Structure 1
Amino acid sequence: MTWELIPEGSQPGRQPSRNFPWGIPLAVGIITLLLGLSLLVWPFFAASRILAFLIGAALIGNGIATLVGSRARGLGTPAAILFIVLGVVALAFPELTVSLLVGFVAAMMLFVGTVWLAIAVRMRQGLHWIFIALPALLIALGVAALIWPSLALILAAFAAGLVTTLIGGSLIWAAVALRRGNA
């Protein structure tokens, strides 16, 4: 069974292809829409749980992959166990995981903004106001994220929720259009 993103039968004047699994984008759209709505309704709770789950799952997955790979090479078992333990801790303590992540992102914003500003100030010719304003804004956002990490996470979660809700809605709309043969 073959299918493409836009089935051959979906062009004007042709019968829609009945082989296209329109239920898959519908299911993904519903899940995406619900995820986006949860980020809009409960931004801090949903964001901390989702981020902690993603980070924990990634750490556990990397730990298992390292453990499996280390058997062939005989190296990396302590690192694999550490990854798995850190993944379980990330899942067990989502607020701590998110605070550490927000702190890391804020520190990186401060670092990148400071380096960018230092480079802009050292440029003697062609210095434009934008080369000072953007790194200064990045530094200000980094400081704000360090002072108010919950607010930074809520704003990021709300923005992600809005975009995710729109993506989920468009997937549902596309799936319904495919089902009707209008795509």
Structure 2
Amino acid sequence: MSWELIPDGGTPGGPRRRFPWGVPLAVGIVTVVIGLSLLIWPFFAASRILALLIGVAFIGNGIAAIVGSRARGLATPAAILFIVLGVIAIAFPELTVSVLVGFVAATMLFVGVVWLAIAIRMRAAMHWAFVALPAVLVALGLVAFVWPSLALVIAAFVAGLVTTLVGGSLIWAAVALRRRSA
């Protein structure tokens, strides 16, 4: 038995294998539904989806640490903490999202201020972009701190638009594969 990453067209003179066009079609439909939910209900969908993703990541890391840890020490208590944090993240999505938005806002402020300080120190070689980009980053960080729900809605709307376009392209590709194989 041989495993292939990219299936060939079959053996010469033999039957030609067709790509399963239903897989990208199903993934595309699910992706479009998620994208549209982010566009229609940006705050609700974003908070639920983000909390679920963060919670599952915490739980998965906790389980992996328990299963894969040979030296027990602090690995097991840390793994249990990850699992508990994952359950809390899924159970309280609004809290999870507010903590995440606060963390992202603080990170944007920190990176923007440090970048701006470096740009100011390089006065001789300063280009307007070295000041404008960190200033925008600081402004976005401040907006995210002052209006976290607005920051989440904007991020969810942009993510929904991109996700819907990606899902649509998957559906288009699946239909093109179906036509080609027919």
Match of 1:74 in 2: 72
Q: Structure 2: give runs of 5+ residues left out of the alignment.
A: 11-15
Aligned residue-pair number: 175
In the TM superposition, what is the alpha-carbon distance from 1:2 to its structure 2 partner?
5.7
In the TM superposition, what is the alpha-carbon distance from 1:124 to its structure 2 partner?
2.5
Identity %: 72
Q: Distance in 2 between matches of 1:95 and 1:122?
A: 40
Match of 2:13 in 1: none
In the TM superposition, what is the alpha-carbon distance from 1:4 to its structure 2 partner?
3.7
Match of 1:158 in 2: 157
Q: Taking structure 1 as reference, are residues 3 and 80 closer, same or farther at Cα in structure 2, changes over 3 Å only? A: closer
Match of 1:84 in 2: 83
Deviations 1:44-102 (A, max 9, x none): 000000000000000000000111123x2123111011000000000000000000000
Q: Structure 1: give runs of 5+ residues left out of the alignment.
A: 10-16
In the TM superposition, what is the alpha-carbon distance from 1:151 to its structure 2 partner?
0.3
Q: TM-score, normalised by structure 1?
A: 0.90
Deviations 1:151-174 (A, max 9, x none): 000000000000000010110010
The answer as to whether partners of 2:112 and 2:137 remain within 8 angstroms in 1 is yes
Query: After the TM superposition, which parts of structure 1 deviate over 3 Å for at least 4 consecutive aligned residues?
Result: 1-5
Q: Classify the secondary structure of the residue corresponding to 1:74.
A: coil
In the TM superposition, what is the alpha-carbon distance from 1:133 to its structure 2 partner?
1.0
The answer as to whether partners of 1:99 and 1:149 remain within 8 angstroms in 2 is yes
Q: Classify the secondary structure of the residue corresponding to 1:73.
A: coil
Q: Which amino acid aligns with 2:164?
A: T
The Cα RMSD (Å) is: 2.0
Q: Taking structure 1 as reference, are residues 179 and 123 closer, same or farther at Cα in structure 2, changes over 3 Å only? A: same
Q: Which amino acid aligns with 1:45?
A: F
In the TM superposition, what is the alpha-carbon distance from 1:28 to its structure 2 partner?
0.5
Q: Taking structure 1 as reference, are residues 92 and 118 closer, same or farther at Cα in structure 2, changes over 3 Å only? A: same
Q: TM-score, normalised by structure 2?
A: 0.90
The answer as to whether partners of 2:29 and 2:171 remain within 8 angstroms in 1 is yes
Match of 1:54 in 2: 53
Match of 1:13 in 2: none
